[in-house]
């Protein structure tokens, strides 16, 4: 069941979901508009010529900090990681779905490649996987509305929330943009 604006406000009061900071004017009929933080990660092509998912790519990326006066420029066919300003969280009976905003989609901006799902029990600044499918660059300003989150209630409280030690949750309670930790999956498989 997707939560309505009224239910979102009620669940914020009970602590079942979290949006910090929360501004009533960003609440939509069945979603909440989240805004763009100032930090971005991009692949440094002077250091990387191929991505190997088995290897830690943190050193292959460089951080770019944007400002209102100097926004981030996302060029055509370019990929960048960013995060939301808001910390969004859910208890063990809710999940979050991240969706793009229609107005930005019409400019050619995709806000997630695959990671549009926040598991029950997580609370974080959501990572955005930005891609420009337009034929011209797009300016991205810190604080601009970048995406919307939809809250859903699952059938029952989950047995193991994200962050449970058995799950080895890589992005539990992230507070900023981070590179992929895919290489850890290969390390785990080699230990068996």
Give the helix/strand (H/E) hosting 103.
helix 102-105
Known catalytic residue: 129?
yes
Cβ atoms of 144 and 34 closer than 8 Å = no
SS3 132: strand
Cβ atoms of 64 and 157 closer than 8 Å = no
Q: What angle do CA 33, 80, 75 make, to 5 degrees?
A: 100
Nearest to 138 by CA among 174, 101, 175: 101
Q: Which of 78, 129, 152, 153 is catalytic?
A: 129
Strands (E), 66-185: 72-74, 79-90, 94-100, 109-110, 117-118, 123-132, 138-140, 145-153
Output the CA torsion sign for 83, 98, 171, 90: positive
Cβ atoms of 167 and 159 closer than 8 Å = no
Give the residue numbers marked as catalytic.
Answer: 129
């Amino acid at each position: 069941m997707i939560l309505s604006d009224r239910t979102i406000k009620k669940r914020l009061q009970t602590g079942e979901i979290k949006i910090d900071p929360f501004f009533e004017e960003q609440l939509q009929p069945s979603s909440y508009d989240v805004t763009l933080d100032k930090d971005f990660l991009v692949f440094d092509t002077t250091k990387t010529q191929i991505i190997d998912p088995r290897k830690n790519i943190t050193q292959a990326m460089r951080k770019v900090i944007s400002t209102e006066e100097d926004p981030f420029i996302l060029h055509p066919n370019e990929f960048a990681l960013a995060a939301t300003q808001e910390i969004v969280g859910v208890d063990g009976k809710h999940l979050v779905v991240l969706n793009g905003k229609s107005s930005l989609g019409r400019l050619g901006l995709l806000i997630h490649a695959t990671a549009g799902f926040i598991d029950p029990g997580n609370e974080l600044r959501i990572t955005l996987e930005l891609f420009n499918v337009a034929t011209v660059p797009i300016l991205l300003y810190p604080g601009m509305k970048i995406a919307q989150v939809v809250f859903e209630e699952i059938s029952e409280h989950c047995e193991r929330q994200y962050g449970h030690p058995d799950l080895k949750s890589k992005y539990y309670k992230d507070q900023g943009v981070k590179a992929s930790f895919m290489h850890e999956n290969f390390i785990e498989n080699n230990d068996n």
